[in-house]
Structure 1
Amino acid sequence: MGKWQTIKQLRALLCELVKIPSVSGSEAENYFPEVLLHKLAELKYFQEHPDLLNQVPTGDGRFLISAFVRAQRPTSRTVILFSHFDVVDVHDYGKWKDIAFDPELLTQRFNEQKKKLPQAVQKDLDTGNWIFGRGTMDMKSGLTLHMSLIEAASEGRFEGNVLLVSVPDEEVNSVGMRAAIPHLLQLKERNQLEFVAAVNSEPMFSLYPGDQTNYLYTGSVGKVMPGFLCYGKETHVGEPYSGLNGNLMASFVTEAIELNTDLCDQDEGRLAPPPTNLIQKGLKDTYSVQIPHRAVTLFNLFMLERSIEEVTTILRKQAEQAAAKIESFYHKEAERYSEAIGSTIVDPKVRVLSYEELLKEACKSYGGEKVDKLIESLIAQRGDKDDRGLSIEIVDQLAILCKALAPMIILFYTPPFYPAVHSHHQPMIRQVVDKIQSLASKAYHTELIEQHYFSGISDLSYIGMPAKHGSMNEWTANMPIWDRGYSIPFAEMEQLAMPVLNLGPIGRDPHQWTERLDVDFSFVSLKELLSYCISEILAGDNHK
């Protein structure tokens, strides 16, 4: 019967994995790979082939897990199963925070207090098919299924090789996946493998509130994080028209970009989700009656078909429009105030610069060596600043050096970056998708609608075929910490590029306290669909 093949076994395994609170950056995230390693080592195959089960360092104290199963009949054809084992934190669970990692207990408590929960949650509870808890949906259910598949592979289920790769840090900077790239190249070269496709099992994401459609994905959305540092002019609060408030400037930039459908990338007429703000704050360290003349605002921006050059051009235009609105607003209010006091106020002119342009100005004024030393000292003294905080600090300090250029808005990029990838035009993937959709409909009465891009962001971005080839110079030149603590192995990614497919569980409310998983679909229907998917990908006639 096996260890992880029945719905009961899979549910128990899922609960065991969820109980390890592997929040990104936590000690439990560091501990999780050891648990996963020991569980996989219980399989007879890895007892006989321990060299094919590896705990691979990511370079920052964390580890990823790689488990390779050779087919009984020698072949180079290999499918890779990708998952991540980190999760987001549980602060949003409120009074249920202490049991957020105990799916059975949390589900029981929700049943006991069902009438206090949202209607959609009550409806799912009534079916008896859903289990709740952080990581049940995103994405330890996917990892659970992959462990089931690797066990099946170890018993000769597939006519080809299967490689399981599970990584940390997907929810933050994808350190795990970026570290997996050289490991995969080594495996490929050492074993003379042909990586036929990468299969991920991230859960289905709703396209809009209340969306009940079930999806499979033939690609993964791209993402950039543009930032705008707004540098105004300092002044006392008693003389506000002698300066320009950075917070005011940032608010105009945010108004220009937040949920702006005109900025949505498109794929054959289908829109990516709109941009939304992730960080906005003034950069004053302490309270005083000096206005906050420096502020920053950062956004999540999805990419499908656009190049980074196109994205930069669009963002710069938005910043220029925001600058014009700042000037117009200032002029309007200054004119009214001037009439009241009987004096003339000089209007500011706000310029827009890229980080690359700011850096050149700083080097021109102070010399490249001094600027490099400043940046290196900021990196050395970063303390507990994350990559976004460090990027902001570098831009801010260079802006202070170049304050004669103010007022100004500086466009820059921060980590992470995810390339958009797709496989919907790839013949083998087209055939496999058609067959999966047919089987799901006939055998499980489930309609799976294809989406070209998984909208939840995934590590497939680092392994798939780029949606649009192009130079990354525009991005790296405007990324303050590029090759200074953050990098992406673009050359190695090109060597590994392969078709991708995301076939995952039905769940609801990722990253919310009502995160939940449809157990029956995930551990019965989806388990068989994934098994069928791997068999079809490995079948040689798909390449004819």
Structure 2
Amino acid sequence: MNLSDKIYETLDELVSLPSVSGTKDESIASEKIYNMLSSMTYFKKNKNNFGMEAVEGDNLERKFVWAVVNGKQKSNDTLILTGHFDVVGVEEFGHLKSVAFDMKECTKRISELNLDEDALKDLKSGKWIFGRGTADMKCGIAIDIELIRKFSKDQNFKGNLLFLAVPGEESNSEGMVAAAPFLLKLQDKMKYNYCGAIISECSIPQSASEEFKRLYMGSVGKIMPLFLCVGKETHVGEPLKGLNPNALVSEINKILENNPDFSDQFNNVITPPPMCLKQIDLKELYSVQSPLYAVAYYNLLTLSMSEEKLMGNLKDLAFKAFNNVLEDIKCKRERFIKKSGKKFEYIKVQPCVMTYEELLLKVKSKNKNFENYIKEKVELWKKENKDNQTIAINIVKETYEKYDNKKPMIIVSFIPPYYPHKYLQGEDVKNKKFIETIDKTIEYAHEKFNEKIIKEDFFMGISDLSYTGMKNNKSISGLSSNIVGYGISYNLPLEALSKLDIPAIVFGGEGKDFHKYSERLNLPYTLNVVPELYEHIIYSLLQ
């Protein structure tokens, strides 16, 4: 059986596992991959070279799988092949849900669903296979496993080949977040020099007419600003005597939603503008009293903007929103007094905006046991199966409630998940060598397969490449202080990431329609071309 057939067979096995993110079924996939590795002769002889590691503190008890093949010639140079084995759910498959994880049967029956012109064309070509996880991204894991199998047989290279398969990418990247400190531990213990990493995600065409594939030199970052607005309660019969936090949060949304001023830019790449993911007040039961708290959090993508600059811009926006609301209330109050002929006492409010870091410092200075108090609260919220975002909101609310200078304000913070943006540039010898290898591999693809591959600056779909290390010029202390729950409910390994900084790319097969029922994988390119290009990279770096 040749390499392409082996990859196809392994892909079929992996797709058949319903490893939906955020469920215990993810563990089925990690066990399967571990068993595939344990059956290989190399790992039967080298049992310390592979294993499963628990995602610390994970209530689903998920694990990531790792394996190292050492070349015949010793060297510290180590190339990482990595990807995620979790997938999104299959509700959109409708009556085909039962075959969504059977790529052969799904391909046979997918035309029973409404397919667009491009999907129908691909189906009729016979070159594409459909099913959940085919493209996103079990094909990448299958390629990695079979290359590990192949290289473990002859070990005809210099250095080390490290395979890493992680869960949770489709949720909060819990697997790769947990793997970063493990990679650092290996680096320190084994003196590994991580000379590169390939995230095996598929190339995604931007139009049906494209005649080239993509290789991504970086990955877009993601940060989630949270605004917790505190108002002043009042009776519904006297609305102009208080301050409704819903007015504050609504004005923030009016300014920030789809605002291109918050679209980041690098070279010719521009991120989509921010979008609100949730906006709600925190009043639990009905009453005729106005709410005290309202919150909104946003999806905001970054390419080069620093978190410090972003926080400054968000504070300015919050001040603007606060002033707008107060001015609007003032005008409406004056119009009401004129219309009713009645004057009345009302609360005098001044705009107040604080970062979570500023608020936390003030609260901690007066409450020495506050950190332990919050830790106990977080454990309760975890037992109630609250998500990271809800826990973060609760933490900010609890922090404000311990603040002795209570008044209307807007508290600005960042909440999980946080994905640092990352871009591969020739800034040092290691990066330059990896980039040269990529360029030579692109030339090789054209010469041998007549495949045109272009280098794209950023993979825009969010990826685990973000956790292959950060530039050490980032302000880790400032960032960690404003990420709510950092070190308590959200174990983001910022220090480990700052010590790694592995040169990395996103490069895999070709896939379309991620997270849709028409998800599909281009077999000829993925099975016949990409594995040989991986081999070219491996031999170039580990020679």
TM norm structure 1 = 0.89
1:373–1:153: structure 2 CA closer, same or farther, 3 Å change rule?
closer
Residue in structure 2 matched with residue 351 of structure 1 by the alignment: 352
Corresponding position: 1:447 with 2:452 = yes
In the TM superposition, 1:369-518 aligns within 5 A as: 369=368, 371-372=370-371, 374-382=373-381, 383-402=384-403, 405-425=406-426, 426-464=431-469, 466=471, 469-518=473-522
Matched-pair contact (CA < 8 Å) for 2:218–2:458? yes
Query: What residue number does 1:528 align with?
Result: 532
* 2:247 aligned partner: 248
Shift of 1:65: 0.7
Contact 2:115–2:518 at 8 Å: present in 1 too?
no
Aligned to 2:105: 105
Matching of residues 81-96 of structure 1 within 5 Å: 81-96=81-96
Q: 2-side partners of 1:206 and 1:272: how far apart?
A: 18
Is contact 2:469–2:499 with CA below 8 Å preserved after alignment? no
Secondary structure of 1:414's match?
strand
- 322 and 77 in structure 1: CA distance in 2 versus 1, 3 angstrom threshold: same
For 2:309, the equivalent position in structure 1 comes to 310
1:38 partnered with 2:38: no
Identity, in percent, stands at 34
Q: Quick one: structure 1 residues 399 and 74, their matched pair in 2 at CA, closer, same or farther if it must change by over 3 Å?
A: closer
Whichever residue aligns with residue 33 of structure 1, its letter is S
Q: Structure 2: any 5+ residue segments left out of the alignment? A: none
Q: Which amino acid aligns with 1:198?
A: A
Return the alpha-carbon distance in structure 2 between the equivalents of residues 230 and 196 of structure 1.
46
How many equivalent residue pairs?
A: 531
Partner of 1:154: 152
Using the TM superposition, name which of 309-318 and 242-251 deviates more.
Answer: 242-251
Q: Match of 2:116?
A: 118
Q: Which moved more, 1:424-433 or 1:311-320?
A: 424-433
- Say if 2:214 and 2:456, in contact at 8 Å, map to a contact too: yes
CA distance in 1, matches of 2:150, 2:289: 66
Residue identity matched to 1:143? I
1:56 aligns with 2:57: no
Using a 3 Å threshold, how does the CA distance of structure 1 residues 448 and 406 change in structure 2: closer, same or farther?
farther
Instruction: Please give the alpha-carbon distance, in whole angstroms, between the structure 1 residues aligned to 2:483 and 2:155.
Output: 46
User: Is the Cα contact below 8 Å between 1:422 and 1:465 reproduced in 2?
Assistant: no
User: What amino acid does structure 2 have at the position aligned with 1:39?
Assistant: M
Give yes or no for contact 2:24–2:62 (8 Å, CA) kept in 1.
no
Please report how far the alpha carbon of residue 446 of structure 1 lies from its aligned counterpart in structure 2 after TM superposition: 3.2
Given that 2:356 and 2:412 are in contact with CA atoms closer than 8 Å, whether structure 1 keeps it comes out as: yes
**CA offsets, 1:336-369, max 9 Å, x none?**
44443334575754421111222344456xx313
Question: In the alignment, what sits opposite 1:198?
Answer: 197
Specify the alignment match of 1:26 in structure 2.
23
CA distance in 2, matches of 1:25, 1:335: 52
| Shift in CA distance, 440/340, structure 1 to aligned 2, threshold 3 Å | farther
Could you say if the C-alpha distance between residues 431 and 333 of structure 1 is closer, same or farther in structure 2, counting changes exceeding 3 Å? same
Task: Give the Å deviation of 1:35.
Answer: 0.8
Does structure 2 conserve the Cα–Cα contact (< 8 Å) formed by 1:132 and 1:515? yes
DSSP-derived class of the 1:381 partner: helix
Q: Which residue of 1 aligns with 2:266?
A: 267
Q: What is the distance in 1 between the residues matched to 2:331 and 2:138?
A: 55
Change (3 A) 1:484 1:519: same
Q: How many Å separate the matches in 2 of 1:89 and 1:166? A: 19
Q: Which moved more, 1:495-504 or 1:333-342?
A: 333-342
Q: Deviations over 1:295-330 (max 9, x none)?
A: 211122222222221121122122222223323433
Output the CA distance in 1 between the equivalents of 2:251 and 2:84.
37
Q: Counterpart in 1 of 2:220? A: 221
Change (3 A) 1:447 1:404: same
Query: Match of 2:392, as an amino acid?
Result: S
Change (3 A) 1:371 1:509: same
Where does residue 542 of structure 1 map in the other structure? none
Q: Does structure 1 residue 285 correspond to structure 2 residue 322?
A: no
Contact 1:464 1:500 in 2 (8 A): no
- Deviation string 1:187-216 (CA, Å, 9 cap, x unpaired) is 334444332111111123466999886321
AA matched with 2:395: I
Alignment check: 8 A CA contact 1:33 1:64 kept? yes
The answer on whether the counterparts of 1:423 and 1:429 sit within 8 Å (CA) in structure 2 is: no
TM superposition shift of 1:85: 1.2
Cα displacement (A) at 1:401: 4.5
Please give the alpha-carbon distance, in whole angstroms, between the structure 2 residues aligned to 1:218 and 1:407.
45
Contact 1:419 1:461 in 2 (8 A): yes
- 2: CA distance, partners of 1:208 / 1:370: 56
Q: Distance in 2 between the 1:213 and 1:398 partners?
A: 52
For 1:132, give the aligned amino acid. F
Q: Let me know the Cα RMSD of the aligned residues.
A: 2.7
1:283 touches 1:294 (CA, 8 Å); kept in 2?
A: yes
Distance in 1, Cα, partners of 2:78 & 2:278? 41
Q: Secondary structure at the match of 1:248?
A: helix
Provide the C-alpha distance between the structure 2 equivalents of 1:273 and 1:428, rounded to a whole number of angstroms.
32
Corresponding residue SS for 1:198? strand
| d(CA) in 1 for partners of 2:308, 2:209 | 35
**CA distance in structure 1 between the aligned counterparts of 2:65 and 2:317, rounded to whole angstroms:** 43
CA shift, 1:157, in A, is: 6.5
Q: What secondary structure is seen at the aligned counterpart in 2 of 1:27?
A: coil
Helix, strand or coil at the partner of 2:224: strand
Q: Summarize the Cα distance change of 1:374–1:211 in structure 2 as closer, same or farther, 3 Å threshold.
A: farther
- What is the aligned partner in structure 2 of residue 294 from structure 1? 293
Q: Secondary structure of 1:137's partner?
A: helix
After superposition, what is the alpha-carbon deviation per residue over 1:56-98, rounded to whole angstroms, capped at 9, x for unaligned? 2222322111111111333332211111112223334344334
Deviation at 1:455, TM superposition (A): 1.9
Give the counterpart letter for 1:444 in structure 2.
F
Distance, in Å, in 2 between the alignment partners of 1:523 and 1:293 is 58
CA 1:206/1:281 → structure 2, altered by over 3 Å: closer, same or farther?
farther
Give CA deviations for 1:151-198 in whole Å, capped at 9, x if unaligned. Answer: 221123752321101111222333322322333234334444332111
Cα distance in 1 for residues equivalent to 2:451 and 2:190 = 39
C-alpha separation in 1, matches of 2:211 and 2:391: 40
Tell me how far apart the structure 2 counterparts of residues 296 and 97 of structure 1 sit (CA, whole Å). 36
Secondary structure of 2:525's counterpart equals helix
1:75 is aligned to 75
Amino acid aligned to 1:284: K
Provide Cα deviations, 1:260-290, integer angstroms capped at 9, x if missing partner: 2211222234323332222222212223333
In the superposition, the TM-score normalised over structure 2's length comes to 0.89
Structure 2 contact 470–497 (Cα < 8 Å) conserved? no
In the TM superposition, residue 370 of structure 1 has moved relative to its aligned partner by: 5.7
Structure 2: distance between partners of 1:410 and 1:210: 47
In 1, distance between residues paired with 2:542 and 2:455? 21
Whole-Å Cα distance in 2 between the matches of residues 16 and 49 of structure 1?
Answer: 25
**Gap change, CA 1:39 and 1:428, over 3 Å in 2:** same
Check whether the contact 1:507–1:517 (CA below 8 A) recurs between aligned residues: yes
Equivalent-residue separation in structure 2 for 1:150 and 1:177 (angstroms): 20
Distance in 1 (CA, whole Å) between partners of 2:7 and 2:418 is 34
